[in-house]
Amino acid sequence: MNTLQRAVLIRAYGGVQVAQVSRIEKPTPEQGQVLVRVQAAGVNGIDWKIREGQVRNAFALPLPIVLGAEMAGVIEAVGPGVSRFSVGDRVMAAMGALGAYAEFVTVNEASLSLTPEALDDIHAAAMPVAAIAAWNSLHHAGPIRAGQRILIHGAAGGLGAYAVQYAKRAGAEVFATAGTADLDYVRSLGADSVIDYQSQRFENIVRHIELVLDYVGGEVLDRSWQVLAQDGVVVGTSSPDILSRTPANRRGLWFMNKPDPHLLEKLAREVASGTLQSRIGDVVGFSDIPDAIERNRTSRTGKVVADFTR
């Protein structure tokens, strides 16, 4: 019996060449775990940040390690003590760590969400990180109020597109930045004002912003302080050094996501029914994952998902 499986892993930190398609042992589910045959996995910025060693000081990772933070698939086997799921169930999950870029993964039962029947694996695999991170980062600084002025950077991206929709549902006045090609898309999500970052500087257009969601980082963060209302706050997901870059008279918060399987099931049903929009930028095959990780680092290509059946 063949116990080897394909996986994308790194054995050392570095550039695109260190992420390799390799053969590793197929795992066996332990107490409270299920074995999932992965059908699709989402590509995220955390993949190249881990590949390059940018987060090794934040949390220790024993190398070699399989990359990949979110997936969708079918339960192949269940371990002792599993009660919520059965063989054959379609499931989705944020790994809570890593390991999604493998044909089979073991996942704690408590981390899994059922995939709605009407939601295909490609769209299911695109949701676990972005849909939850957008929700949690939006509420990280406190409850959203009707009429609150919110600026969302990277509004056409995976997190930003969800955040625009969540903020509008809460009754906020939503300002958003996006590239020229995505302006109409972001408007369709409900944004009240969309700023083309390729031809406009948002700090010349908006003022008195109570919450900035910065999904871009870099100089975008540095330019965001000047648009804040007196008691406004910037929540950043792309700049781990946001606290040291926060001016003395301003408030900045660093956000790190935590999976929420129950919320994910609810949001997945909304995507399946069409009440919540979710857009896929590109779909690649398993062997293309290393290149897709690099593209995530170098360009804004929209959400990329790897289809393991290709």
CATH number at residue 124: 3.90.180.10
Provide the domain count of the chain: 2
Q: Are residues 124 and 141 in the same domain?
A: no
Residue pLDDT, tens place only, 252-266: 999 988 899 999 999
Residue numbers of the domain that contains 59: 4-128+259-307
Q: Are residues 193 and 276 in the same domain?
A: no
Residue 195 phi/psi, 5-degree rounding, is: -110, 125
Q: Are residues 118 and 266 in the same domain?
A: yes
Q: Are residues 161 and 69 in the same domain?
A: no
Q: Are residues 122 and 38 in the same domain?
A: yes
Which of these three, 231, 254, 277, is where a domain ends? 254
Query: CA-to-CA distance for 172 and 154, rounded, in angstroms?
Result: 17
Q: Are residues 249 and 288 in the same domain?
A: no
Helices (H), 170-280: 183-188, 219-224, 261-273
Q: Are residues 141 and 248 in the same domain?
A: yes
Residue pLDDT, tens place only, 5-34: 999 999 999 999 999 999 999 999 999 999
Which of these three, 254, 276, 292, is where a domain ends? 254
Q: Are residues 32 and 8 in the same domain?
A: yes
Q: Are residues 76 and 183 in the same domain?
A: no
What's the confidence (pLDDT) of residue 97? 78
- Residue 101, SS3? coil
If we measure between CA atoms, which residue out of 125, 130, 178, 161 comes closest to residue 289? 125
Please determine, for residue 298, whether its predicted confidence score (pLDDT) is greater than 90: no
Q: Are residues 44 and 115 in the same domain?
A: yes
Q: Are residues 164 and 99 in the same domain?
A: no
How many angstroms separate the Cα of 88 from the Cα of each of 66, 75, 260, 308? 24, 5, 22, 17
The mean of the pLDDT values for the chain is 94
Which of these three, 239, 254, 269, is where a domain ends? 254
109 Cβ contact partners less than 8 Å away, ≥ 6 residues apart: 32, 33, 34, 81, 82, 83, 84, 85
In the chain, pLDDT over 70 holds for what percent of residues? 98
pLDDT band at 1 (very low <50, low <70, confident <90, very high): low
Average pLDDT over every residue of 174-190: 96
pLDDT band at 299 (very low <50, low <70, confident <90, very high): confident
Q: Are residues 156 and 217 in the same domain?
A: yes
CATH number of the structural domain spanning residue 197: 3.40.50.720
Please determine, for residue 82, whether its predicted confidence score (pLDDT) is greater than 90: yes
